[in-house]
Amino acid sequence: MKDFSPISRVVVHHRVQFSETDMAGLVHFSQFFRYMEKAEAEFFRQVGVSMVQQDGSVFRGWPRGRVSAKFMAPLYFEDVVEIELLVKEIKERALTFFYRFRRRESPFLSAEGRPVEENLAKGEMTTVLVEKSGLAGSMQSLPLPQSLRDRIREADPIAMRP
């Protein structure tokens, strides 16, 4: 089995695709929630946990309990955005992540001689470990397994300041 050092932070980069924008080349706000999920998937990969598990007719997964975002600047087509995920809180049955979005590259802003690196948004997401039996079964929350708890830790609250 792979040895895991506990982690509290993951950073991923994403180049904005045309399909993520409107006709003015601005990223639609809903894309930021997809970017959160991209970082979340990488976080779970790094700790060796699949976000969706199936054992016969029993499914385990991580639905959202809460999500929020605050937007501070627009993101444009072909910009490169850095998505930083920090583990804000480890609860009995859930994890709360803090997200920070920063622009790292921008062909349009660079061409205009404008500053490129900029804080774009921040957000939070709480995701709950659940189990569901069959398609018609109801979801029941589960305690986080000790094996997962051993691989993660809460980030320093100072890291979540602006």
- Residues serving a catalytic function are 22
Q: Alpha helices of the chain — where are they, by DSSP H?
A: 31-46, 107-111, 146-149
Q: β-strand 80-90 against 53-55: which pairing, if any?
A: unpaired
Residue 68 token pair = 């929020």
CB atoms within 10 A of CB 152: 20
The Cα 45–Cα 81 span in angstroms is 20
Residue 151 token pair = 């691989």
How many residues are given for the chain? 162
Q: What are phi and psi of 152, to 5 degrees?
A: -130, 160
